[in-house]
Chains A and B, each alone.
Chain A
């Protein structure tokens, strides 16, 4: 009987011991501290440096991923869809060139355009919410960061509506709400864009948040707002916003066209600075030939080459060519705004997102629409003269608008989809692209399809007509 008692005693003791060790300490034991390479949200927004790093992160991401709308793809694929660019070798990107995007070949739209835009919108929403809650971040920094977030949110929505039309409008980071949102009409999205840009103007100052012009200031917001008003035919507002930028005294046109896309460009209102130490701009690397013997990938169409007036310095400074195959082949012309191809060249070029020349053209157009012929001519001539061209002969509203369209085409070619967006907003796409691509062009091609994989994931999204 004694041994049975002993056994019982041992059993009880060990059970107690094991239970104590494990359950007493185990709650604590399994609470592990976060990994040192991740910061919990509640820590991030308790200090100025880390809070600032979250917004810095959006810029970093915008230029980090090489295959997306903020690093050159808006230029390239809108350029193909419009009448600016074509592809040299046989390619699987013909769907853009021929405006033949189908539900089979559209999948890049998600990864190039849709996903990154919404990722920045999500991050901006999250930052706006967290900054609003935060008590530790200094008030002035809170303003600056919130202003930048609102600008970046507006910037993403601007491109989304121009590429896809109606898009889901999200102003919260709550995925449960966002996951099932249907598409919001373009007009409503523009209201939000305008509201955000106005907020940004109030929250930001003319001084850039950091050195250089690689984060946005108050005037960047005004520049984008000028463009948004122009697209929405609010001529007075467009003019006044453009004037606030032109008249700020901070920017001036570069007399030498070769300086416009340099990092020190005085014309730049907002630039993205590379995060890679081997390349200058992603776009430059995508367009320029990789070696002295290889072909450039994206070429300028003949219609665009022919659009340059004789003596236009832009055709010399911003366009170049190569004979391929050398020496018996044909001349292939390609954009040369960015001149540096990767491979560890010293960093001299930044990726220009907004620049002063566009503001003159916006104001010229807004003034022409308001029948301010002289004012419009003046602005237009500033741009023409800089490129070695004489003053415009256009003196009527219609002629001026036409001249401005032409000037925008050669000034802003292969730049952020300006041509593609212009053709659509002025309803000129059918006339011009229909003539250029008579077999494949359809009016519904002005909008890219909503990526089918996104419709699969959110049944509330409805497809654009024509797809």
Chain B
């Protein structure tokens, strides 16, 4: 027997109790010795017994068989006895008898070789040595269970070995047990600790230290309609837990996933607060439509990142995920393969992201408060020319073009002050943004009723020079669980509400960092915004700041999961969900933001958008042993409806900024109103059959038949399904014998079909839409070319994977190989404009393949009582390929795609550098026809395959170190990719009236110069056209690989001894950082992630805060 628990008197408080304890210990040892001595001849025999709900009579017969003792009793006496459950191995007969008689209205005595059973006499017998006394007075045992960190272990089960007698620990890890004997063994077990046995040895007050279990394999994995464990899972699911999310100072839960999940590639659109993320699971399956995954929050479908909830186009397309407080999330599961996603049918093709929010847990009522303050700045620098360099560049460009500078083409040279210098980059995006967060969570309850109530306030400002721009969020969520007394009925209800207010300028000021360095002053001599100098206007970036775009997004999410255990093997479930998200957009263009010389008026746009979705899902779950294995079956259905309603009000000609929102004050003709509506309905029947033979062989069948309103009347229904198999070969004897170092080994595979219905609603309808009224009479225009005959995009997914565990599962490795093939592509098929419309929806027999390999490694490198070091690593290498596109050459995609290449293939000229004589970019004449011609439909002409913007490989490596109260976590994210080169891809030529990166100092200036950049030009010259060709050449793609210290978190928790003094459960200080360091060897733009000249890059964030739990 392994006894790793430590019994220590440490918990005893004060010297007095310590003394008392010592006395008790001595007494106990003495008593034990006496009892052993006395029972040696009589009841010392060893007994092994395993009975459940057995009558005493049966037990006595068995004891008689094993020991030879006769039992003397009358049936009448035994009739009053209750049945017993005993499970002991090599226990003494005396102990067994004590257990048999514990709580019975009976006592016994030993007479010769007989044990005489008689009704209990109500006399208090003083405790004495020697067997044979009928009744041992129950002993009250008080204990506390703590883990190696001294933290209480709540909910651990405490049982007297060999019996069903027991209790469980409360939230402080404490328990009280009424035990029949002083020398019993306690068995302490729980899902997350190693089971220990502790012999009481007479102690009545003790602290038991247990080891937290490294049992990653038993981690519950949610697969939407059912749960499994990492060990038994036949599909590919990655999980990110609250612990990992909580350490990142991000406002959007999608941001918390970056670099942590294999096969998941996430890019941030801009560094503005509340900005959107693009999310791809295992590459682009669809040539054109909806590549975004299906998102479910507690089983309720949520807006995907592709579903816009805004109408007004702005730089800051606010992400609906920003309304989800990352602190409310318990876990995020990313479902990737057919086995995991086919049960989602037509919605599962691009993978599924399940967000599970925090739920109530039984235990002491806890209040957790955490708060932080943070600072954000732009990471990479891209330096621009100073005034002197700029003026020289401009003069050179004009002279190169043979143009004499005039006021109209050279106002920056001749009219504006050439001695002025403004560092626009520093001025416009060089400020520090501020973040504040405060989070409260109250939780508690008992086994049957418990709750969790959380509230959160978050505010983030921008790096722009304005104090009036922000993203604010206020959210609350309540989760209530109830279980009936007989444990048959279960309900879990969650309601959450978030209100987010995001106010940004309508344009990203990053675009203005290219302003001429001698552009006019921001303010004129009167302190008003300046719009011109010497009659030549410029776009004043501070005027841009006054043009605001504010979005107020409110989200309500409510769901209820009810389940009833009809029979032990049969559970009926019903889940209801409702989500509503509304977003109110307001853009204001005040008069103050416009040049007063144009006698301007103000404009207002007000957009109202609402998304409402409900879902009802009945489900029946059944499990039964069949043969040596276990069968689990599930059948269910889905009814779902989404409704989108929106309206847009445009108002203009507003003559006073104070009336910008007072639309009633305007003449009716200055207000235009429009509205839109769409409805989506979805219905499906799904099922699952899972057979698990001895935890060794597992087959998992899932399927769904579903229908969607997004398709024409005859194409609404389709079937999807998958088969997953798993073989846990480490349970095979021959593996155990030959590979003893392997603690776990599973080979699994899956194959199946899922669908994609991520297209807009009503695309099959032949309708007319209202246009602007003409002569104040209704005007209609055809909405689209219509085709009622299109159907799902079908995606076949294949997966082969191996999961391995080494050193008692301290090292876990998963390797997945996948291949997804999407067929019957649903295209908004481009048509020549001569048809009246640019495109039509249709299915197309194009085939796109995504295949790749993913590694996920988790390792506990070191672990002892005070120090722990864990590492996790993930790697994804994937490839996207267009396998077939019949008739590509004659189609409208002839010049966009190439069979055999990625959908993101970049075709262009072969850039050979700057001609030293002419100073103009040169390209290779591949087909040797004397001309440089772009790709045609049937010939590549002078184009080559430059590369693809798909990442070649990517991943992350995370380390967690804990030492006593200290914890350090850091995540490095890495991406190997090609990206857009900023200088060659800027459409305005270097030489025009805007600033350029300092790299352009190294340019061609006179014949014979060898330089990376060509001669300057402002317009119209051969160099001007060469630049347009360079943007379509091998020069336009450069290595944009990077390694980024994505997250760093350091925390310190105060030791218990201090906590106890302040009556606090936990007190933690932390410093957290995001995007702290970016290493990109070749990429010279602002940031290799969003790769834009004109958009704010993701910010470097640093926060510091505290967390207190009472």
Binding site for B on A (CB under 8 A): 3, 6-7, 10-11, 14-15, 17-19, 21-23, 26-27, 29-42, 44, 49-50, 52-54, 56-61, 63-64, 88-92, 94, 102-104, 110, 114-115, 118-119, 121-123, 125-126, 168, 170, 173, 175, 178-179, 181, 210-212, 214, 273, 275-278, 290-295, 324-326, 329, 343-344, 454, 456-459, 461
Tell me whether B680 is interfacial, beta carbon within 8 Å.
yes
Residue B683 CB within 8 A of the other chain: yes
A123→B836 contact, CB < 8 A: yes
Q: Are B834 and A458 in contact (CB under 8 A)?
A: yes
A10 touches B566 (CB 8 A): yes
Q: A residues within 8 A CB of B566?
A: 10
B678, B778, B833 — most chain A CB neighbours (10 Å):
B833
B668-710 interface code vs A (CB 8 A; 1 in, 0 out): 0110101111111111110000000000000000000001110
Q: Given A173-B836, A454-B833, are A122 and B782 neighbors across the interface (CB < 8 Å)? A: yes
Rounded to whole Å, the gap between the CB of B1101 and the closest CB of chain A is 40
Question: Interface digits, B739-778 against A, CB 8 Å rule (1 contact, 0 not)?
Answer: 0000000000000000000000110011111111111011
Determine whether B781 belongs to the interface, using a CB cutoff of 8 Å to chain A.
yes
Not counting A32-B680, A54-B780, A56-B774, a sample of 13 additional A-B residue pairs whose C-beta atoms are within 8 angstroms of each other reads A18-B635, A22-B637, A29-B681, A29-B683, A34-B762, A38-B767, A50-B768, A52-B777, A89-B408, A91-B1019, A118-B834, A454-B832, A456-B937
A22 vs B704: C-alpha distance when bound (angstroms): 12
The reply to whether A291 and B595 contact each other, CB–CB distance below 8 Å, is yes
A277-B677 Cα distance, complex, nearest whole Å: 26
CB of B172 within 8 Å of the partner chain: no
Q: Which residue of the partner chain B has the closest CB to A90? A: B409
At the interface, yes or no: B949 with Cβ under 8 Å from chain A?
Answer: no
Contact present for B409 and A104 (CB under 8 Å): no
- Separation of A292 and B639 alpha carbons in the complex (Å): 62
One of B618, B675, B775 near A273 (C-beta < 8 A): B775
B677 engages A122 (CB within 8 Å): no
Assuming the contacts A90-B409, A178-B834, A293-B597, asked whether A41 and B1019 have C-beta atoms less than 8 A apart, the reply is: no
Determine which residue in B762, B766, B1018, B1029 has the highest number of CB atoms from chain A within 10 A of its CB, and name it. Answer: B766
A37, A122, A173, A326 — most chain B CB neighbours (10 Å): A37
> Taking A32-B680, A39-B767, A214-B775 as contacts, is the C-beta distance between A53 and B780 under 8 angstroms?
yes
C-alpha gap A158/B990 in the complex (Å): 42
Task: Write out the residue numbers on chain A whose beta carbons fall within 8 Å of the beta carbon of B830.
Answer: 457
B620 near A11 with CB under 8 A, answer yes
Q: How far is the CA of A6 from the CA of B773 in the complex (A)?
A: 66
Across the A-B interface, the 3 shortest Cβ-Cβ residue pairs: A122-B836, A291-B598, A60-B779
Measured between beta carbons, the chain B residues less than 8 angstroms from A126 are 782, 836
Please tell me if the beta carbons of A22 and B601 are within 8 angstroms of each other in the complex. no
Report B-chain residues with C-beta under 8 Å of the C-beta of A179. Answer: 831-832, 834-835
Task: Give bound CA distance, A60 to B681, whole Å.
Answer: 34
From B599, B780, B894, name the one whose CB has the most chain A CB atoms within 10 angstroms: B780
Minimum C-beta distance from A25 to chain B (A): 8
Q: Are B1018 and A90 in contact (CB under 8 A)?
A: yes
Determine the chain B residues whose CB is within 8 A of the CB of A19 once the complex forms.
Answer: 685
Pick the residue among A14, A31, A38, A121 that contacts B713 (CB under 8 A).
Answer: A31
**A30 & B408 in contact (Cβ 8 Å cutoff):** no
- Nearest chain B residue, comparing its CB with the CB of A210: B775
Q: Which residues of B contact A211 (CB under 8 A)?
A: 775
Interchain CB contact (< 8 A) of B597 among A40, A181, A294: A294
Q: Provide 6 A-B residue pairs closer than 8 Å at the C-beta atoms, listed in order of the A residue.
A: A32-B681, A110-B833, A122-B835, A212-B775, A292-B597, A344-B601
Chain A residues with CB below 8 A from B535, complex form: 293, 324-326
Q: Which of B40-48, B116-124, B382-390, B567-575 contacts A (4 or more CB under 8 A)?
A: B567-575
In the complex, whether B785 has a CB less than 8 A from a CB of chain A is yes
Of residues B407, B781, B837, B937, which shows the largest number of chain A Cβ atoms within 10 Å of its Cβ?
Answer: B781
The reply to whether B762 and A291 form a contact with Cβ atoms under 8 Å apart is no
Measured between alpha carbons, how far is A454 from B566 in the docked complex, in Å?
A: 66
Least CB distance from B552 to A in Å reads 24
* CA of A92 to CA of B774, assembled, Å: 33
Asked if A118 contacts B835 (CB within 8 A), the reply is yes
Q: Is B653 an interface residue (CB 8 A)?
A: yes
Please give, as numbers and ranges, the residues of chain A lying within 8 Å of B834 by CB-CB distance.
114, 118, 168, 170, 178-179, 181, 454, 458
Q: How far is the CB of A109 from chain B (nearest CB, A)?
A: 10
Contact of A459 among B709, B713, B774, B890 (CB under 8 A): B890
Residues of B with C-beta under 8 A to A34: 762, 765, 767
Kindly provide the distance from the CB of B1056 to the nearest chain A CB, expressed in whole angstroms. 51
Interface string of B594-625 (1 = CB under 8 A from A): 01011111000000000000000010101010
A1: min CB distance to chain B, Å: 13
A11 with B622: in contact, given A30-B708, A278-B670, A291-B599 (CB under 8 Å)? yes
The residues of A that contact B785 with a CB separation of less than 8 Å are 175
Least CB distance, B407 to chain A, in whole angstroms:
7
**Binary contact track B827-849/A, C-beta < 8 Å → 1, others 0:** 00011111111101000000000
Name the distance in Å between B1047's Cβ and chain A's nearest Cβ: 44
| B228 at interface, CB cutoff 8 A | no
- Which A residues are in CB contact (< 8 Å) with B838? 115
**Closest beta carbon of chain B to A276's beta carbon, Å:** 8
Query: Which residues 797-844 of B sit at the A interface, judged by CB distance below 8 A?
Result: 830-838, 840
Q: Is B892 an interface residue (CB 8 A)?
A: yes
Given A32-B679, A60-B774, A277-B669, A39–B780 Cβ distance below 8 Å?
A: yes
**How far apart are the CA atoms of A19 and B765 in the complex, in Å?**
29
User: Is B716 among interface residues, defined by CB-CB distance under 8 A?
Assistant: yes
Q: Closest residue to A120 on the B side, CB-wise? A: B836
B681 & A88 in contact (Cβ 8 Å cutoff): no
Nearest chain A CB to B573's CB is how many angstroms away? 11
Instruction: From known contacts A37-B769, A325-B534, infer whether A18 and B598 are also in contact, taking CB-CB under 8 Å.
Output: no
- Name the CB-closest residue of B to A325: B535
Distance A276 CA – B601 CA, assembled complex (angstroms) = 15
**Chain B residues whose C-beta falls within 8 Å of the C-beta of A23 in the assembled complex:** 685
- In chain B, positions 875-926 with a C-beta closer than 8 Å to chain A are 889-890, 892, 894-895
Q: Contacting A30 at CB < 8 Å: which of B600, B716, B782? A: B716
Chain B residues lying within 8 Å of A125, measured Cβ to Cβ, are 836
* A119 / chain B contacts, CB cutoff of 8 Å: 833, 836-837
A64 and B653 form a contact (CB under 8 A): no
Which A residues are CB-close (under 8 A) to B489? none
A-chain residues with CB within 8 Å of residue B766 when the two chains form the complex: 40-42
Per the 8 Å Cβ criterion, residues 1025-1059 of B in contact with A are: 1025, 1028-1029
Q: Give the complex CA separation of A81 and B597 in angstroms.
A: 32
Shortest beta-carbon distance from B127 to chain A in Å: 48
Which chain A residue has the least Cβ–Cβ distance from B406? Answer: A90
**A32, A44, A178, A276: the one within 8 Å of B835 (CB):** A178
Interface residues of B in 830-873 (CB under 8 A from A): 830-838, 840
Taking the nearest CB of chain A, how far is it from the CB of B887, in angstroms?
Answer: 11
How many angstroms from the CA of A59 to the CA of B785 in the assembled complex? Answer: 20
Asked if B781 and A123 sit within 8 Å, CB to CB, the answer is yes
Contact residues in A for B770 (Cβ distance below 8 Å): 37
Residue B1020 lies at the interface, judged by CB distance under 8 Å to chain A: yes
Residues on B with beta carbons closer than 8 Å to the beta carbon of A36: 677
A325 and B681 in contact, given A38-B767, A175-B785, A343-B599 (Cβ under 8 angstroms) = no
| Chain B residues, Cβ within 8 Å of A458 | 832, 834, 892
Q: Which of B622-651 contact A (CB under 8 A)?
A: 622, 624, 633, 635-637, 639
Given A14-B572, A31-B709, A40-B767, also A3-B678 (CB < 8 A)? no
B291 CB, min distance to chain A CBs, angstroms: 24
Nearest-CB distance from A341 to chain B (Å)? 9
- Of the listed residues B773, B778, B835, B1018, the one surrounded by the most CB atoms of chain A closer than 10 A to its CB is B835
Cα separation A212 to B762 with both chains bound (whole Å)? 38
CB of A7, distance to nearest CB on chain B (Å): 6
Cα distance, A126 to B780, chains bound together (Å):
13
Q: Please tell me which one of the listed residues B653, B762, B781 contacts residue A61 in the complex, with CB atoms under 8 A apart.
A: B781
Q: Are B771 and A104 in contact (CB under 8 A)?
A: no
**Alpha-carbon separation in the docked complex, A41 to B597 (Å):** 48
